[in-house]
Amino acid sequence: MLAETFFIAAGLLAVIAALGMLVSRSPVRSALWLILIMLCVAGLYMTLSAEFIAVVQVLVYAGAIMVLFLFVIMLLNLGALPNLERVDFKKGVGFVLGTVILAQLVYITATASEPLVTASFDPAETGSALKIAEELFTRYALPFEIIGILLLVATVGAVMLAKRTFE
Amino acid sequence: MEIPLTWYLTLSAVLFSIGVMGVLFRSNLIVILMSIELMLNAVNLTLIAFGQFMGDITGQILVFFVISVAAAEAAVGLAIVIATFRNKLTVDVNDIKLFRH
């Protein structure tokens, strides 16, 4: 019962924050709403007993990535820009498309006749840093190294892109 | 698991759809990037929910990789935003017409 109450609270807060991100005029407010979404999703990971991923979510997403976003917003001084949002054909199409995608996903979820998966496991076993590290450094050691190279290349590429001047 | 899997999937669907609407609605490049991050979060939630309900740890490994790639994506995307702003002095996608002559 407690877990369900927590799920409903975190889920509702996440949806409200997502709508707030969608409608707020200033990019800084959108970024702050997004941080709230990340924290709610981290709480939902805790209800799934995925503690390690929840901590990584807070550290990397709510910490590093959102600080990067806020830093770029500050750098570009976006509050000073004229922020006129027009209601036009594009927005109508966007609303219809988003609603259709939502309807499809909910329909698929609701009409799954048999139970989607058979839940027979010990949730305390999965989700600890020990279990993830065992898999990550044995079976997935090569992808792990490749991710390291990818992050290095992305960092160098980001620096090169940001300092590049066009004609 | 006291909470049914369907709840996680429905919440994830709602968050993903709001992310799609954010990409289609907003004209600010940075807010579009944020909406993409929101969609990645929704997909991560689905992956972890399925993985935990199947008792398989691969879902969490996959989410770990998705978070790493999302960090790289945010860095490169924001660098592109900065380059665009230096070039065009705007981050409004309606005013950026690189290929339209």
How far is CA A112 from its chain centroid?
Answer: 26
Confidence at residue A124, expressed as pLDDT on a 0 to 100 scale: 56
The complex's ipTM? 0.91
CA distance A134 to chain B (A): 10
pTM for the structure as a whole: 0.89
CA distance A40 to chain B (A): 11
Identify the three-state secondary structure at position A113.
coil
What is the Cα Rg of chain B in Å? Answer: 17
Record: contact A81-B71, CB cut-off 8 A: no
Best of B12, B16, B24 to substitute, by most chain A Cβ atoms within 10 angstroms, is B24
* pLDDT at A11 > cutoff 70: yes
Record: contact A151-B68, CB cut-off 8 A: yes
Q: Count A/B contacts: CB-CB distance under 8 Å.
A: 237
Where would I find the H helices in A48-140? 51-56, 66-76, 89-110, 129-136
CA distance B101 to chain A (A): 17
Residues of chain B neighbouring A132 (CB-CB closer than 8 A):
57, 60-61, 64
Which of the four pLDDT bands, split at 50, 70 and 90, describes residue B13? very high
CB-nearest to B3 from A4, A121, A126 is: A4
**Model pLDDT for residues B39-84, shown as the tens digit of each residue:** 999 999 999 998 888 888 888 999 999 999 999 999 999 999 988 8
Residues of chain A neighbouring B62 (CB-CB closer than 8 A):
none
Best of B37, B39, B46, B92 to substitute, by most chain A Cβ atoms within 10 angstroms, is B37
CA distance A154 to chain B (A): 5
Torsion angle defined by CA atoms of residues A151, A18, B82 and B28, in that order, rounded to the nearest 10 degrees: 150
Q: Which residues pair with B92 in a beta bridge?
A: B28
